[in-house]
Amino acid sequence: MKHWIFAVALICLGSSARADSEMKVTLDKGSYIQVASVTGSSVAGTAIMTANPKRVYVIMSTLNNTGLGTTVFVGTVTATQNGVTHSNITNGLQVASSSTFILDGAMTDTAYFTCPIGIGSCVVRVLEGINR
């Protein structure tokens, strides 16, 4: 009797488990890309990308275009701030020179960057994954 119950249990449990070679999982990184090269300064926040509800993925890369290495600061402030340290520098996320920052998720709003104090201009390259 024990073997009979065990055999029925194995048959019932085993029938629902199956391997399907056609099943797959994908991550949505967008259906096309948009690229840009953006130049900013140390006294203002410059938009890295504009607001886009179809954006699902962003890769941002800073360039070492000054010889000193240009770290940038990603933040939310766009205003020009002369004579003081810009809010993006004091509160923003620091992205080191020649490095890559990946914003993995549906960030649909605008983000800004600011160059370090004393750097006249710096360049950020952006690749966005966008859905149609």
Specify whether the CB–CB gap between 58 and 128 falls below 8 A: yes
pLDDT attached to residue 18: 60
pLDDT attached to residue 97: 81
Tokens of 121: 């201009």
Chain position carrying tokens 């390259």: 125
High-pLDDT (> 90) share of the chain, %: 3
Roughly how many angstroms between the first and final C-alpha of the chain, as a whole number?
Answer: 61
Q: Report domain extents, the chain.
A: 29-130
pLDDT higher than threshold 70 for residue 20: no
What are the helix and strand counts (H, E) for the chain?
A: 2, 8
pLDDT higher than threshold 60 for residue 129: yes
pTM of the complete model beyond 0.75: no
User: Using CA of residue 68, residue 121, residue 35, residue 89, what is the dihedral sign?
Assistant: positive
pLDDT in tens, 36-63: 999 988 888 899 888 888 888 888 888 7
pLDDT attached to residue 35: 92
Instruction: Tell me which fold the domain 29-130 belongs to.
Output: Jelly Rolls (2.60.120)
pLDDT in tens, 83-128: 778 888 888 888 888 788 888 777 788 889 988 888 888 888 899 9
In angstroms, the Cα distances linking 74 to 21, 30, 96 are 43, 23, 11
Distance (Å, whole) CA 101 – CA 36: 15
